[in-house]
Structure 1
Amino acid sequence: MYQKKREEIEPCPLKYAFNLFGKKWNAWIYCSLVNNPSLRYTELKDILPDITDSALSAALKMFMKNDIIRRTSYDEIPPRVEYSLTDKGRSAVPFLQGLCNWSSSYNSDNPEYQMTHCSYCKFNKKL
């Protein structure tokens, strides 16, 4: 008899976290929003110049669907939309700072990873 794969049977909290923050651009988008109270789409593109429009749009939609960021539209001409972290999004900061600290301490012997923060977000700074 056919048996479903393990991941379909048992939901995993760690897998949920990695799906949110572990994809190529998601950590950098998140860190950009941690360090700025709100950002417009074009400001995110300026911070992450190599990201494609489709990748940024997909990541923002995924974060909004999971209540990590909020999209605020202003009734102006031209229209203005800003993205910011929700309370749920801000609650992940200590977890991700801890992950950064862990990574830095265990990669200290590897010259490729010797850093106290990444060049995009300076996430290890005290928030």
Structure 2
Amino acid sequence: MSSESLKIFAETETCPARNVLDRFGDKWSTLVILVLNEEEKLRFNEIHKVIGDISQKMLTVTLRSLEADGLVSRKVYPEIPPRVEYKLTDLGKSLVPHISSLIKWADQNFSSIMASRSKYNQKAN
């Protein structure tokens, strides 16, 4: 890459890699996408139950971000009490194979990464 082509990484707003990966590359978004990929649609409490250790506030924030980016759709049914369901959009579904590839890579390289971390930490101490 030339120094000219590297300039696209300089600004978060104009860099596709930084802008998009920052939104779904956090601790919870990828997990929510994978959970929603397993079912046609899920309610908030179903997602919360599957993930377990995510707070309700963080799940709300995560779902809103994914909805804002067009990866998740939210449907509110006019019932009492209101019923809300979430599902992946076509855009969200198109992301799943890429996440799956990353998970496969992580699984294949996990022991090497953990060994490297341990070796690094021993040197640092």
TM-score, normalised via structure 1 length: 0.73
Name which one, 1 or 2, has greater alpha-carbon Rg. Answer: 2
Identity of aligned residues (%): 34
Matched, 1:21 2:37: no
Q: What is the count of residue pairs matched by the alignment?
A: 107
Alignment of 1:17-56 (within 5 A): 17-56=20-59
Alpha-carbon distance, 1:108 to partner: 4.5
CA-based RMSD: 2.2
Matched, 1:7 2:14: no
Alpha-carbon distance, 1:35 to partner: 0.8
- Other-structure match for 2:122: none
* Greater relative contact order, per chain length (Cα 8 Å cut-off, separation 6+): 1
More helix by share: 2
Native 8 Å contact 2:30 2:99 kept in 1: no
Matched, 1:83 2:90: no
Q: What is the CA deviation profile of residues 54-73 of structure 1, one whole-angstrom value per residue up to 9, with x for unaligned ones?
A: 11111111001000000011
TM-score, normalised via structure 2 length: 0.74
Counterpart Cα distance in 2 of 1:28 and 1:94: 14
Larger CA deviation: 77-86 vs 96-105: 96-105
**Structure 2: unaligned runs, 5 residues or longer:** 1-8, 116-125
